[in-house]
Amino acid sequence: MGEAKDDEKRSAIHRARLHDVRAVLKNNVVLLVAISAAAITCFFVPPDAAYADYFDVRTLSCLFCTLAVVSALKNIRFFTFTADRIVRGFKNLRNVVLALVFVTYFGSMVMANDMALITFLPLGYFALNECGQKKVMAFTFVMQNIAANLGGMLTPFGNPQNLYLYSYYTISAGEFFAIMAPPFAVAFLLIAGVCLFVKKQPVEVSAIRPGTPSPWRTAVYFVLFAISVMIVFRVFPYYWGLAAVTVSLLVLDYKAFAKVDYALLLTFCAFFVFSGNMARIPVVREFFSSLMSRDPLLFGVLSCQIISNVPSAVLLSKFTADYANLLVAVNIGGLGTPVASLASLITLSNYRQTGGNVKRYLGLFLLINFIFLGILLAVVYLF
């Protein structure tokens, strides 16, 4: 009897460990693909001193600072508090969906698209579940995902690929905004127009409100966020800002470092190695250079559909000087397939957790994403 119980206990522990391994693999698919791709290219270009030049330390520092400060703001529930107040100010389903989508849209401009989704997707579930409107959950999640990808394209720190290209090509702030403002404006109109199809029926959110975040901590974190932004705009050396943010958060909230998306940082490192090695393989260099010289916008978008927008930005930047078209391509190219953007995988994972119909979600996701992508591509080509 005792041996049977021990065997059952060991079996349960084994199953739990397998479950944990599967969860880690499932939640870090992009990172594992990036590491695998980098490892494969190492066989063609063995590690040497030139590897050190692959890594854009400024981009990694800026991204780390932004993620750390956003994590600290999340710990004091600043974003949940703010979004909750926004949602409660609207009295019908259409306005609630609009609020959820546009708080994600504008939130991604300052806190990066993946962090905006991590913050506001749970709020979407919370609001729609409490007012008995789970039937529009799939639509709302799809639109929040699109909003995060397209809203983040306006700022250098809104999407990870923007931060990389902004630094890699040393683009000025004014030129960056001039390039991205037209597709950003079109995206705004498209998102608003589609959300207007939601029925305008009364709703009531009755859940308990989150507590008010600490005013002084909020103020300090916004100062640190401003410092992170100034690093992006090269106001002072990146290592000054990195030191200021790190030391301040070690004193104020060291737990924020535990919630930084290190997988995203490691993904960047892996893709730096992958793209650096690819650029040193003569056949590959000639092939990509030829394609990018013909149509960097179209090829950039197609590349995103297969290997995602962040690795596309890192890889294709080695083969073209046309940063304007590449910048637009890797932003609107985040639409389309679920693998076109890391943010889309985050949304899919969150939707699975709601218990909704995943096949229905994916069908709706592909339909709306490709319609948006087609319209944005047409607009960019025309203007």
Q: Which tokens belong to 223?
A: 């100062």
Give the SS3 label for residue 300: helix
What is residue 21's predicted lDDT score, i.e. its pLDDT? Answer: 57
pTM of the predicted protein model: 0.76
Amino acid symbol at 363: G
Helix axes 57-75, 93-111, angle to 10 degrees: 140
Taking CA 243 as the corner, what is the angle to CA 242 and CA 246, rounded to the nearest 5 degrees? 80
Could you report the average pLDDT of every consecutive run of 10 residues in the chain (383 residues)?
60 58 63 86 91 83 85 86 75 88 89 79 79 86 95 87 89 92 94 92 68 90 88 82 94 92 84 83 84 91 86 87 94 90 80 83 95 95 84
Rounded CA-CA distance 269/164 in Å is 12
Distance CA(80)–CA(66), nearest Å, equals 18
Question: Would you call 319 helix, strand, or coil by DSSP?
Answer: coil
Per-residue pLDDT, 277: 86
pLDDT value at position 8?
63
For 262-295, give one letter per residue: b (16+ CB within 10 A) or e. Answer: ebbbebbbbbbbbbbbbbbeeebeeebeebbeee
Read off the tokens for 241.
């800002």
Rg value, the chain, Cα: 22
Closest CA to 329 of 158, 176, 164, 161: 161
Structure-token pair, residue 60: 């990694």
Per-residue pLDDT at 249 = 95
pLDDT at residue 290 in the model: 87
179 in Cβ contact with 330 (< 8 Å) = no
